[in-house]
Amino acid sequence: MSSAGVFSGVKQVDERQRFDEARLAAWMEQNVSGFAGPLTVMQFKGGQSNPSFRLETPGAKYVLRRKPAGKLLPSAHAVDREFRVISALYPTGFPVARPYALCMDDGVIGSAFYVMDMVEGRIFWDATLPDHDPAERKAIYEAEIATLARLHQFDPNAIGLSDYGKPGNYFARQIDRWTKQYRASETRRIEKVEKLIEFLPRTVPAQERVSIVHGDYRLDNMIFDARDPRVAAVLDWELSTLGDPLADFTYFVMHWAMPRDSRSGLAGVDLKALGIPTMEEAVAQYCKLTNRPGLPDLDWYFSYNLFRLVGILQGIAGRVRDGTAASADAALIVSRVDQLADASWHYAQKAGA
């Protein structure tokens, strides 16, 4: 089945994620401006980490993002942070959904959650954009790069996010974070991960800039306008913080080096024929928009980003083990841990390991 079939659309609410819909409706009447029931709830198929739900009334559609129920890793599933960052960005005109309300009271639906507007539009699950012509593909990718560059130009202090994260020493702190998450979720010993845990912290590059970092910026984490190649909303801010903008951009551009068997991979694709910018063109556009003279060697950054994915997917492995994984396809995702560890070590070796 295609990624669109697996991850897009809605389904009946999973038994493990069911909650008292009448209690939610009562909360929304008190906290969501303009809310008027009756309320219908469906669950989005995607959302490996924080389960997401479509809330529909006769006059409006909303999205609810909640923490999963059950035992969770420390600092994971921070829906309050998601709500805070989109609340800061929405008034600036940056493309995020309108935030309505945050609930930290587990007594309403069983875990913390927030409600935002449901943005209508298109989500692209295949990086090659098979249903578009070359000019459209080029425009979609350029819009994606321009939106990320715009995010990285915000002064966090100016929009109330000065304390949203520790600004300096970003990569060292992230390596420590994902190492701890990996250890907390570890199901078996993987030798290449052990080598990465030793190599990455002692080879961290110097940080030159501080920005808001999305943390998972990729094509299928945004909604495009229904007709135009314009980003209507950037989604899934769970991993956002303050830090080095190169973490975001190198994660994004890494998809040019990833194999085609992943839905976001572009390696081996005839980019010129498709109209998709090359990696060099993507780098040049981003550097121009952010006033950078260029980017350093990417191998270390690719190794770091793949290691981070190992930590994220190992977290899903832990939730599969503990019975709290949000997706029926979580077990399939877990099988990619070894593949990602191999790829991360490959780039680490190219970076001098």
Percentage with pLDDT > 70 across the chain: 91
CA distances from 314 to 109, 130, 182 (A): 27, 31, 6
- pLDDT tens across 73-90, in order? 555 568 999 999 999 999
CB atoms within 10 A of CB 81: 17
pTM of the model: 0.88
Task: Report yes or no on 126 lying in a domain.
Answer: no
Domain stop point among 89, 117, 145: 117
CB atoms within 10 A of CB 5: 10
Task: Report yes or no on 142 lying in a domain.
Answer: yes
Cα–Cα distance between 40 and 61 in angstroms, integer?
A: 10
Same domain, 155 and 37: no
- pLDDT tens across 2-25, in order? 444 445 677 888 777 788 899 999
Q: Is 155's pLDDT higher than 70?
A: yes
Mean pLDDT of the region 319-342:
74
Task: Report yes or no on 263 lying in a domain.
Answer: yes
CATH number for 8: 3.30.200.20
Domain count, the chain: 2
Task: Report yes or no on 155 lying in a domain.
Answer: yes
Same domain, 214 and 286: yes
CA distances from 70 to 77, 183, 184, 297, 320 (A): 12, 19, 15, 42, 12
- pLDDT tens across 249-279, in order? 999 999 999 887 667 789 999 999 999 999 9
Domain range for 139 is 134-350
Residue 131: exposed, middle, or buried by beta-carbon count in 10 A (0-12, 13-18, 19+)?
Answer: exposed
Task: Report yes or no on 315 lying in a domain.
Answer: yes
Mean pLDDT of the region 272-299:
95
